[in-house]
Structure 1
């Protein structure tokens, strides 16, 4: 090959090389273009969000498959402007945002659109300008539906608004406490404390909480923060802004507040409730007439002194005092004078005491002294001091009244090592002093005890009477004052002595109680009353409730509930027709009382408290007992229409019973004024000599039948007399007509 040939071939080779290189470059660019197109297509078609392209005038050019979620196909929307799809209220703002993208500004916003069925949908849209060769030719819209999120957000906002409204307008205080500081309080807590909102937030707890309660508050806070307890409720005292002490009750629980542990809680002002509780407790522990500690308080105090004296091997003394001839003074000069006399006697007795001792009104005209760290010699000195203190006349209502005491003394441990024995022996010594001429004192001795032989003889006679069936029941009817119907009867035991005739229970019940004979006597009375009530039902009389007194010894028998259940089964009497009457003194042992009463209630019988308001006051525990009825003692009813104090007591008992949803019945109703007064106070049930004295079962049955016939006749005649003597010989009368 010549050099000329080489010269010709070289340009041709270069040309082929250039062509080959160009083809390779074009092929590479094509592959990249295809790859980018596939990337774009995947991003566009497979994107879960809706992607729409618009021209510069807002007409839809294309959309991905995600638009199906709105119910549209591409054909439904292509070449159409976006404006018909926008909710009218949102159109202006949406157009402005579209124009921002047209002008080269990407923008994200929210608005509402219509779906295929015309329903509103919430969306979040991002508009992005489309650049081709550096020029904006259209707009991308990336759309995410947020309808569900919007609804959830709306509900959350509404819930927060409700919560805030509830908290801000709550009747209880609300607070958030974190890291030793109060972070939030509602307006009610500001009202309770007297501080402004900003003042409370700047307070330290130790500045306002009572020093004695501050450690307890910190302890409860720590229990929540350390998860020892999930919630806690406690009470504490704090000072208002005006430095008045108030008692608060708070309920708290642990929360997360701004990413840290905190406590949220509610606060209520229980100052009034606490004061009421103190007042009720005071009333429960103090005699209303003399303001002295009552028997219940005295027993609690004596038990403490007794335990201390045993531990320290010390003596203490009991002085049991009874006023001589008080009953005669009370009957002759009236209860008002009697009450004033008792009040002034109480004042003189209090002046005899030192700080360690206490004097209590045991009931009626009986008072009891508790003298810790006192031997016989000191007890005698105290007895002489009391006699001297009462020796001067009392000036009452222009009368000079001379009253003397009889005092019995017993010393621990010589004369007793428990409450009952030491009180009993002081009582025995008191009666011995009274028998020796009154205005005197006596120390308990075995000789004095031996003089109680008469009581033992009476006990033997009672045993014989029980064996010979000498006891009978009489029944005093109980009336509904509004309907004039007999609703029940109280069964009362009597001793039908073969020689002395009918003996009052006052003469033998104390001995029966003391000897324990009250238990078989009480069981006999309960069985007989149930048998009689069932017999009346079988005879066709309207069903009534029979009330039977349960003695203290019966009540504290371990088999009381089983005995009642057995008698109901044997007599076939429905439990709801039996009412068991207990006295306030039986409720002193609270836990036993609650257990026994609940067991009796489970049988279906009714429970009432007899002679309510006398002796042991159990107001502090009344709310815990399953009581159906309170029986107002006749001592309050007797003077309720003439004595303001008795009237107030009766009103208070009735009102309290109504609030506690307990029925109330008055005993000892003797006049029409009593009836009118009780009706005015919404006391619907009563018994007493105004209606009938206690009568035999036969007379009761006849009287009930006569009353039933009379009421029926009155209804037929459409005229009921105000007072209708049904059975004069049986003294069973209809009360004031409804």
Structure 2
């Protein structure tokens, strides 16, 4: 019987199976890391060819697996990084782990910045290839670059800003500040660090400024203006912008940007002073008078309005000269202001006319003060070695008894003043219903003005303008005169206001325009060099709806080319800016030139130069007369400089002395007009002057 044997070998395979399981797990983990990694994961052999590539990497670079397997890493590396990448590759093959940054390119050639970690693949102790991960850091690098640029920009904004830039803590103490802050305040850094800003603020606005600072603690930006003082106690006007700064949604500090507006403030003060004060006497002008009167009436204050007109001033001015006349006006203004004192406010109304506003304590008190003024004015004045006596006629109206608004009360005072003149001058009159003198005078003047046009009583005189550099004739200004049989030779100052008020200024102005153009053509036909003739446009005339058509018709009928007509306007004309702009544009299209007369005496001179196309600006005579004072010279120099920068010809009016000529030349004035060169002349005498120029 045959026996069967089973040989059973039992081997302990526990370690084997455990090892196998570990290997499976490891391979699974590696496969997951390789397959699902969002970054580029690749394997390359020792020759640098891709042997494996994960799906994320294929998607990022835009290749299919078939395309990239077998490709060299050099084909996806930008040329500039090839040598550096090769050196890292050699180190990995030498068994090192390398971490480096390069720029790869996808299938379309688009650059991708990556951070690579490359490790050697080691089998049986030998390096057989490389496995690497490449993280796309393009966005991160872009953000880092933006942050770097932002930091550098902020640093430049802070340290190199021409304005003070400061960071405060919540108590207003300096944390950081730029060099401009130190220079503006005139201090060293250690004098600011940790200190409050309040000691640098002017005492008068310190509490108000602190209240402003508190507003930013509410978490919103805040702006205000304040006054600081530097180490030398000099005033600095500042415009301040405060910006709250938050860290983790908590307000931690305050950023501050300051703007030194000292020069702007001083300029505004000068311009406001020029707008509201008479340059010769320093008194408030008609604009300030009107505003003060309007405010008083709005507040319901009972007050007296005085119109003070000098008697015989024209006679004195003509005989002693305009310079002496200006000294006389200045002396009179000082004397009037001294007598009135703190009982009222004194203004120069214009020309030789002044105004006073006083509270109406009682009619007796007003009359007593008026008598004191008459007596004080009547005393002699010493002017350049001459003794002269000047008197004044004063008219007084009381609000609200004699008028319910500004116009009525001023008219009442004006009526009373004319009544004082009718009664021998050198006296005062309080308005009453019995005073009809001015009304009758106005009616008579209006009738005579109508007759003057019909009887051809108006004549034009012409005052030449001379170039400063060549002394040649530059232009001519037409000035109207009225020769009436009943009134004699009447100056424009006497009849133009009535003409303005009654509307007669429009036909009179048209006659002046036509006559000036006709005369200019006559001169040119006589062989004179063509020059522009200047004609003043009144307020009513300027705003006539058919002004442009009338000027065009006059130019056509007289045959004067438009470039030889200069129309002079004042800032009062330009008050209705929108309408004025349209009219001036039409006039410029027509081809005529525009001059701004009495430049600098109004509040918006610079604004008008911006908006209107101006060929000439004329410096007011009052500024020229005040040329040798510090303020006067500064104003004239500013106007001339403005003309140079804007390419506008500057004409100085009222030039009467060699000293004025020399000073104006030095300042760069283009054209002179005044008695030093020539008085206004009849046409034939001007032609002689023309021939000899």
* Category of TM-score, reference length = shorter chain: 0.7 to 0.9
- Secondary structure, aligned partner of 1:548: strand
Structure 1 residue aligned with 2:309: 322
1:168 equivalent in alignment to 2:159 = yes
Q: What is the aligned-residue RMSD (CA, Å)? A: 5.4
Residues 491-532 of structure 1, C-alpha deviations (whole Å, 9 max, x = no match): 444557699998764554343234331133224444666788
1:433 equivalent in alignment to 2:420 = yes
Name which of structure 1's ranges 44-53 and 410-419 shifts more when overlaid on structure 2: 44-53
Counterparts in 2 of 1:150-549, with a 5 A limit? 150=141, 153-154=144-145, 156-158=147-149, 160-176=151-167, 184-194=176-186, 200=192, 202-204=194-196, 210-211=205-206, 213-214=208-209, 217-218=212-213, 221=216, 225-226=219-220, 234-240=224-230, 245-251=235-241, 266-308=257-299, 311=300, 314-330=301-317, 338-355=325-342, 357-390=344-377, 393-394=380-381, 402-450=389-437, 453-467=440-454, 471=458, 478=465, 480-482=467-469, 488-495=475-482, 505=492, 508-526=495-513, 545-549=532-536
Shift in Å, 1:330: 4.7
Counterparts in 2 of 1:632-651, with a 5 A limit? 632-633=619-620, 650-651=636-637
Q: Partners in 1 of 2:653 and 2:324 — Cα distance?
A: 23
Shift in Å, 1:674: 7.1
Shift in Å, 1:382: 0.6
Q: Partners in 2 of 1:341 and 1:666 — Cα distance?
A: 22
Shift in Å, 1:242: 6.2
- Secondary structure, aligned partner of 2:604: helix
Contact 2:216–2:244 (Cα < 8 Å) also in 1: no
Structure 2 segments unaligned to the other structure (5+ residues): 75-79
Residues 558-612 of structure 1, C-alpha deviations (whole Å, 9 max, x = no match): xx1522233245457687765432345x26xx8x442343232232435433244
Shift in Å, 1:171: 0.9
Name which of structure 1's ranges 478-487 and 440-449 shifts more when overlaid on structure 2: 478-487
Residues 259-293 of structure 1, C-alpha deviations (whole Å, 9 max, x = no match): 66676553211123213322332233223333322
- Secondary structure, aligned partner of 1:448: coil
Q: 2:671 aligns with which of 665, 669, 685?
A: 685
- Secondary structure, aligned partner of 1:601: helix
The change in CA–CA distance for 1:241 and 1:472 in structure 2 (over 3 A counts) is closer
TM-score where L is the length of structure 1: 0.71
How many equivalent pairs are there? 660
Q: Partners in 2 of 1:469 and 1:317 — Cα distance?
A: 42
1:731 equivalent in alignment to 2:680 = no
Structure 2 residue aligned with 1:716: none
1:599 equivalent in alignment to 2:589 = no
Residues 614-634 of structure 1, C-alpha deviations (whole Å, 9 max, x = no match): xxx31x321122452322345
Contact 1:575–1:603 (Cα < 8 Å) also in 2: no
Shift in Å, 1:538: 11
Structure 2 residue aligned with 1:49: 40
Counterparts in 2 of 1:99-138, with a 5 A limit? 102=96, 109-111=99-101, 123-128=114-119
Structure 1 residue aligned with 2:652: 666
Residues 694-728 of structure 1, C-alpha deviations (whole Å, 9 max, x = no match): 555xx7xxxxxxxxxxxxxxxxxxxxxxxxxxx98
Q: Partners in 1 of 2:371 and 2:447 — Cα distance?
A: 38
TM-score where L is the length of structure 2: 0.74
Shift in Å, 1:123: 4.8
Name which of structure 1's ranges 393-402 and 441-450 shifts more when overlaid on structure 2: 393-402
Q: Partners in 1 of 2:169 and 2:660 — Cα distance?
A: 63
Which is greater in Rg? 1
Residues 333-359 of structure 1, C-alpha deviations (whole Å, 9 max, x = no match): 555555444444433333333535111
- Secondary structure, aligned partner of 2:264: helix
- Secondary structure, aligned partner of 1:453: helix
Structure 2 residue aligned with 1:609: 596
Structure 1 segments unaligned to the other structure (5+ residues): 79-83, 700-726
Shift in Å, 1:179: 5.5
Q: 1:623 aligns with which of 589, 606, 623?
A: 606
Contact 1:575–1:604 (Cα < 8 Å) also in 2: no
